[in-house]
Amino acid sequence: MSKYQALLTRLGDVVSLREAMAVLGYDQQTQMPAGAAEGRARQLSTLARMEHEIFTDDATKHLIDDAENEVDDVYESDAVSLLRVVKQDYEEATKFPASFVEEWAKETTLAHETWVHARANKDFKAFESTLERIMVLAHKSAEFLGYKEHPYDALLGRFERGMTTAEVDRIFEGHRPRLVDLISRISQKPQVDDSPLHHHFEQDKQREFAMNVVQRFGFDTHRGVQAVSVHPFCTSFGVNDVRITTRFEDNFLNPALFGMMHEAGHAMYEQGVAQHLDGTMLSGGTSLGVHESQSRMWENVVGRSKGFWSWALPMLKETFPQLADVSLDAFYKAINKVERSFIRVEADEATYNLHIILRFGIERDLLGGKVAVKDLPKVWNERFEASFGITPPHDGLGVLQDVHWSSGLVGYFPTYALGNLLSVQYYNTAVAQHPSLPDEIANGEFGTLLGWLHDNIHAHGRKFTTAELTKRVTGGEIESDSYIAYLENKLGEVYGL
C-alpha cells in the first residue's frame, strides 16, 4: 500500500467518527428524549476525543509528509487538494488538547437542551450560566488557535478560512448604509398585504407541498430525508445520507415552505459532491459562506421569484383552496414583504443582513471583553432597537432565538450574510452562461441550474477556498453591489420605488 493510500485509510477512520457524531447530533435534535442529554454528552465527548487523538497523532503527520513525495504537483488534483486541505486541518487540530475537545463536546451537547427549555420559557437567566461556560471555552479556543488582531479572527476562520474580522467589517459596512436607505424608502410606501400567508394551513399538507417543491428542485429523497426540529438545519453523514429538518406553524406558511427550500439548498450541495470524494476530508462544502449561498439561492433568488410562483402557485392553490382568489401579483408581493421583525430566520431579504450585522457585532464584543454574558439581553434589545426601531417583547424573540451559541458556533453568523452576497453573484453568472434559466424556472424546470451548480461548485467539495472558488466561478471577488442591485430591482417592482 502506498503512503497516500495509507493516509486515506487513516483519515477514513476520522471521517467515519465525525459522521457517527453527526448521526448522534441529528438524533438529539429530532427525537432523543430530553432525559438522555447526559448520556448523549458522554457519547459525543468520547467520540470527539477519539477522533481528535487519531487525527492529531504523529502517525498522521508522518503519513502526510510521506504522501507528499508520492503525488504529482497539480493544484486541482484530488491528491494534492486533499493534502493541502488536510495539512491545514491538521495544523489547526493539533493546537487543541484532547481534553479540551472532549470538554467542548460535552458542554455543547448539554447546552442544547438547556437552550431549548430557556427559549421555550423565554428565560435567559436559565441559559446564562451555560452560555458563560461556552464563552469561556470560546475564548480558550481562540487562544489555542492564535490570532494577529482580534480573537474573533480565530473563530471566524474555522467557518470561513482565511477571512478576518476586519474584512467582514469592511464588507458589512460597505453595504449596510445602502440596505438602511432601501428599507427607509420602502417604509415610506404603502405596506404590502401579507394576509395570504396567514391562513390556517394543515401541517401535513404544508410538508407534502414543500417536499414536492424541493424534490422538483433536485433534492434526492433516495439519499436524503426530512424531519422536524426546534431550529431547522441540514446535516450530512456522507454524500449519500443527507438530512434536513423543518419547523412548522399552523397559521403561517413561510417557516416550513421557505425553510425547507433553504435546507434543501444545503442538502443538494452535500449530495452534489463528487461521489469519489465521499468518505474523504474533501467531502462537504467549501465553507459556510458558500454553503449559505446555495441555501439562500434556492430559498430566495429562485423561491421568491415571480417566475417560480407563476408555476408553483396553481399547485399551492390546489393544496390550500383558501388561496383560490389570491392573484400571482398579490402572492408575490406577500412573500417579498419588507418588514422590521424580530426573528432572523423569518426575515425578508432586505432586513436579513442587518440581523447578521447585529449578531456579528455582539459576538465580536463578547470575545473582545466589551460585553458580558449577563448583560446580553439588555445589549441585544438596545442594539436591536437602534437597528430596527423595535424592541423584542421577550428574550424568546430576542437573544435566545438562535441555536448557535448553545452549539458553540461563535463566529458562524457572518457566513449567512456572505452567503446572501454570493448567492446573487453565482446566480448571475449562471444566467449569463444560460440565459434561458429564468424561463426554465417559470416552467418548473430546475435541472439546468442544479447541473450548473453541481459542475461549478458542488462537485469540488472542499478543494478550493471561498476566494478561489468565487474567482473560478465569477472571475471576481465577493462583493455586495450585485446583491444590492438584485434587491433594488425586485423590491422596486414590489413597492414601486
CB 338 within 8 A of CB 190: no
CB 377 within 8 A of CB 399: yes
CB 358 within 8 A of CB 387: yes
Sign of CA dihedral 153, 162, 243, 54: negative
Query: Looking at domain 165-495, which of 1.10.1370.30, 3.30.360.10, 3.40.1390.10, 3.40.50.2020 is its CATH number?
Result: 1.10.1370.30
Spatial distance between the Cα atoms of 32 and 143, rounded to a whole number of angstroms: 34
Phi, psi of 233 (to 5 degrees): -160, 170
Pairing of strands 242-246, 224-228: parallel
Q: What is the mean pLDDT of each run of 10 residues along the chain (497 residues)?
A: 91 97 95 94 96 96 93 90 96 96 95 94 97 97 95 96 94 95 95 94 96 98 94 94 94 92 98 97 96 97 98 97 97 96 93 97 95 97 95 97 95 96 98 98 98 98 96 96 97 94
The C-alpha cell at 465 is 477556498
Domain residue spans of the chain? 3-146, 165-495
Catalytic residue among 51, 107, 113, 263: 263
What is the pTM for the complete model shown? 0.94
Q: 202 catalytic, yes or no? A: no
Q: Is 162 left (phi over 0), alpha (psi -120 to 50) or beta?
A: left
Amino acid, single-letter form, for residue 105: A
Spatial distance between the Cα atoms of 5 and 482, rounded to a whole number of angstroms: 44
CB 140 within 8 A of CB 100: yes
The C-alpha cell at 386 is 437602534
Phi, psi of 488 (to 5 degrees): -65, -35
Pairing of strands 234-236, 242-246: antiparallel
Spatial distance between the Cα atoms of 16 and 12, rounded to a whole number of angstroms: 6
* 231 closest CA partner among 241, 250, 221, 244: 244
- DSSP assignment of 302-369, as one string? ITTSHHHHHHHHHHHHHH-GGGTT--HHHHHHHHT-----S-GGG--HHHHHHHHHHHHHHHHHHHTT
Beta bridge mates, 245: 227
